[in-house]
A = this chain, B = another copy of it.
Amino acid sequence: MNEQMTQKPYVIGLDLGGTNSVFGIVDARGDIKATTAIKTGGHTTPESYVDACMEVLLPVIEQVGGLDKIKAMGIGAPNGNYYNGTIEFAPNLPWAHDTVVPLAQMFSERLGGIPVGLTNDANAAAMGEMVYGVARGMKDFIVITLGTGVGSGIVVNGQVVYGHDGFAGELGHVTMVRGAEGRLCGCGRTGCLETYCSATGVARTARELLQNTDRPSLLRELDTESITSLDVSIAAEKGDELAKEIYDFTGKMLGEACADFAAFSSPEAFIFFGGMTKAGELIMKPIREAYEAHVMKPFRGKAQFLVSGLDGASAAVLGASAIGWELK
């Protein structure tokens, strides 16, 4: 058998986060064969960051049989541009905050020219669900990531929607509350979905309700300024009415937003991803109810509302690696 015809059974995934950069070597079934990591910060230039990556990555590549076994690499990164393979002006990355870094090309050159793809973490999550997770076999779905912010990865006709410039899929920034009463968003605008439905948004809703009413709540035992969405979820599980109302409010807004998203791409499923999904039915039930109450009739009762099928700890690495399978 010709050596060159040997199949390459693995892809590399890199989950490039603000704090850690985690690598995984993954097979087609989503099993992580080897993993390693470095701190993302502490490097002043893109070159020194990639140097540090290669130092830990090459040994794990050898563990799985060497570079000949690697088909491609996928990177999930903040401000990632799929078309160019670049990270562009990423505010939380000291070596990329004021520049455009051709990170895909840099890794490809260090890895014998294998294809390297890069996109933002929410698009990577969508790829991960399609390749290994609950969206296997689906061609039209939307992943909504509920974390510090609200992100999204939209799949239409089996392809992630990148838009004409590579930046499509920012559903955390559709306007849910128009005009002066909308909450100020980190993006500089007001009323964005993210300001209400991120973990930060849930904490904000809690603070507003605690400060603007005198309703009793277990949450009053905590320091108001440091309340988190997890605190709210724990209080709600204990039967706290105010805490339940906060999740109802959050889920209702997500459900109404999904009703608008259905009018756009009529997905088979909405898949929720991230820490806040740990609240389970507390958040999922009001999402479904608001969706069915607000969605246009032709879409009613059709969409599934699912929680990510990827294991929390490795989900981001799996998502990143999934990009690799799509590369030619």
So how many copies of this chain end up in the complex?
A: 2
Which residue of B has the minimal Cβ distance to A259? B175
Q: Mark A164-175, 1 if CB is under 8 A from B, else 0.
A: 111111110111
Which residue of B has the minimal Cβ distance to A141? B164
Contact A175 B264 (CB under 8 A): no
CA A260 to CA B173, docked complex, whole Å? 8
Judged by a CB distance under 8 angstroms, whether A187 is at the interface is: yes
- Least CB distance, A174 to chain B, in whole angstroms: 4
Judged by a CB distance under 8 angstroms, whether A45 is at the interface is: no
Contact A261 B259 (CB under 8 A): no
Contact A263 B302 (CB under 8 A): no
Judged by a CB distance under 8 angstroms, whether A328 is at the interface is: no
Judged by a CB distance under 8 angstroms, whether A267 is at the interface is: yes
Judged by a CB distance under 8 angstroms, whether A207 is at the interface is: no
Contact A163 B140 (CB under 8 A): yes
Q: Mark A253-281, 1 if CB is under 8 A from B, else 0.
A: 00010011101111110000000000000
Which of B163, B189, B260, B297 contacts A267 (CB under 8 A)? B163
Judged by a CB distance under 8 angstroms, whether A114 is at the interface is: no
Contact A266 B140 (CB under 8 A): no
A175-B302 contact in complex given A140-B163, A159-B157, A264-B264, C-beta closer than 8 Å: no
Other than A139-B164, A169-B263, A261-B264, give 9 A-B pairs with Cβ distance below 8 A.
Answer: A140-B168, A156-B157, A166-B266, A167-B299, A170-B263, A170-B296, A171-B263, A174-B263, A264-B264
Provide 11 A-B residue pairs closer than 8 Å at the C-beta atoms, listed in order of the A residue: A138-B164, A140-B163, A156-B159, A162-B266, A163-B267, A167-B266, A168-B265, A168-B266, A171-B263, A173-B263, A175-B260
